[in-house]
Amino acid sequence: MNSITADSTGFEKGLTQSHKKVIFASSLGTVFEWYDFYLYGSLAAIIAKQFFSALNPTSAFIFALLAFAAGFAVRPFGALVFGRLGDMIGRKYTFLVTIVIMGLSTFLVGVLPSYAAIGIAAPVTLITLRLLQGLALGGEYGGAATYVAEHAPHGKRGLYTSFIQTTATLGLFLSLLVILGTRTWLGSEAFETWGWRIPFLLSFVLLAVSVWIRMQLAESPMFQQMKAEGKQSKAPITESFFSKNGKIALLALLGATAGQAVVWYAGQFYALFFLTQTLKVDATTANLLIAGGLVIGTPFFIVFGWLSDKIGRKPIIMAGCLLAALTYFPIFQGLTHYGNPALEAASTTSPVVVTADPATCSFQFNPVGTSKFTTSCDIAKSALAKSGIPYSNAVAAAGSVASVTVGDTVVAAFEGGGHGPEALKADGDRFNGELKAALTTAGYPEKADPAAIDKPMLLVLLTLLVVYVTMVYGPIAAWLVELFPTRIRYTSMSLPYHIGNGWFGGFLPTTAFAMVAATGNIYQGLWYPIAIALMTFVIGSLFLRETKDVDISK
């Protein structure tokens, strides 16, 4: 079998056909990995019915989301496991193993019997497969980025690695297209009964293509040279994090990947959440607008990767973090103005106030979906936050039941604990009905009016958010690769990347929603990405070095 590699002459002179194949093979494989990973998130509601049917619908969906979150939670551990292997035995075989684990885990979800067929073994097996997917993804990115960077000619690492940065978006697109195509072909009923398995089963085809392509690749020339000289690390984890290199890894997390992650999640996922959950724009319109922004913005991954080879990685990423922090509030206020002007008008003419005993109000941060918030204050605030209604807070006497004032109308909440299910349902129906009537009378829209949505302006704002994403994400792979020596590069860059993206970024929607629910300000959740982005801007600007001209062969 012929191997794809970059000959030494081509490596020194610049782009060759072999280099193009290396970039294509690495990027294509990573597209497939992200396709596998996103399938589960897109089909969480159906998976809840199939594998958690012993629970009530709300609890089933919570546990389905918890299983999805488990994949993010274990990504840093995958970075440690596969990073260590990549620095000890080689880049090629390690990130070949990661794609096999990812693809087989996804395929097995497609053939896994439901809860109705095998009982508790179904959700246990499902969560195990999700953990394997997360571990594999934790090892994939660092391997692909390191492999491409170590093949790239000097002065073009930013450009070459930027192609990998497009893969998460492309993988998301591919998963959504397959799901939409399958649902359209079979019909919604058949799709939700058994057709949902087809996108998972198709991953076997993608796996076969990816493995075949990656088998054509030769080992990284820098790793081969290091191995020939006997300079491999015998303890990559110890050298990476329990030596002077550990300080650089920590700075890379706080001064690079944490800010990159929150800008990435805010610009794509939180923007979609804000449109659909807060502004109540219908899901089809919101998804098409987000997709339009991604189509327009995605080429800028390459633009900023290329530019980082000219002016440096650091100034572009720091500028992206700073611009996001300074402009998120006006951009998201613009989304409200152009997406749901009726909500904006009603909140001005008929403000909503929650009057409650502060001691009964919780900060409703619940990343694993298991806590219950049952005080009258929490029930009132949760109902308003889920409806996307902005409100202010007023203090009530200790021990009193919370109330919601809409204009001149007062609606009493209720205590959610200590009552039977029938009494709770009656209280809930009464409160929700009165609150809905008061909001409707005051002009608060239940949904955004399609005729009032200014789609061109929304597309402009969403594209701007995606451009911020490309600024921080396009050059990040090259910067991380160049911060660390060859002998421990795979391990050292993978952990800060996946802690930043899996934890700092992964907790953004939950944290932001809790902040909105606590304060009533629909923009309050933006303080989370703003604070993290500003932290990264300060730490990265002061303590991380520019790396575009370093020799990474050492």
Q: What is the DSSP string of 471-539?
A: HHHTTHHHHHHHHS-GGGHHHHHHHHHHHIIIIIITTHHHHHHHHHHHH--TTGGGHHHHHHHHHHHHH
pLDDT digits (tens, 9 = 90+) for 516-528: 878 889 999 999 9
| CATH topology (fold) of 242-340+448-554 | Growth Hormone; Chain: A; (1.20.1250)
- CA–CA separation, 86 and 97 (whole Å): 10
Residues across the chain = 554
65-76 burial code (b ≥16 CB/10 A, e <16): bbbbbbbbbbbb
Q: What is the pLDDT of residue 221?
A: 74
Query: What residues contact residue 426 under an 8 Å CB cut-off, 6+ apart?
Result: none
User: Half-sphere exposure of residue 489, counting CA atoms within 13 Å on the CB side?
Assistant: 33
Query: What residues contact residue 422 under an 8 Å CB cut-off, 6+ apart?
Result: none
Across the range 90-105, mean pLDDT stands at 84
More confident residue, 214 or 544: 544
| Mean pLDDT (the chain, rounded) | 85
Short-list 507, 509, 497, 503, CA closest to 472: 497
- CA–CA separation, 458 and 244 (whole Å): 47
Percent of the chain with pLDDT over 90: 38
User: Do 203 and 35 touch, CB atoms closer than 8 A?
Assistant: yes
List the end-to-end C-alpha distance of the chain, in Å, as a whole number: 30
Q: What is the pLDDT of residue 314?
A: 97
Q: What is the pLDDT of residue 13?
A: 46
Q: What is the pLDDT of residue 9?
A: 36
152 pLDDT tier (thresholds 50, 70, 90): confident
Domain 1-234 has CATH 3.90.950.10: no
Q: Which of the listed ranges 94-103, 139-148, 165-174, 353-362 does the model predict with the highest average pLDDT?
A: 353-362
pLDDT digits (tens, 9 = 90+) for 372-407: 778 889 889 888 887 889 999 999 999 899 999 998
Strand partners, 393: 354
More confident residue, 20 or 335: 335
Q: Please give the model's pTM, rounded to 2 decimal places.
A: 0.83
Q: Which amino acid is at 447?
A: K
pLDDT digits (tens, 9 = 90+) for 155-170: 889 999 998 888 877 8
56 pLDDT tier (thresholds 50, 70, 90): low
Percent of the chain with pLDDT over 70: 91
Rounded CA Rg of the chain: 25
Q: What is the pLDDT of residue 405?
A: 94
Paired tokens of 464: 């701007």
- CA–CA separation, 5 and 15 (whole Å): 12
pLDDT higher than 90, residue 255 = yes
Residue 262's alpha-carbon distances to 34, 291, 325, 476, 477, in angstroms, are: 18, 19, 10, 14, 16
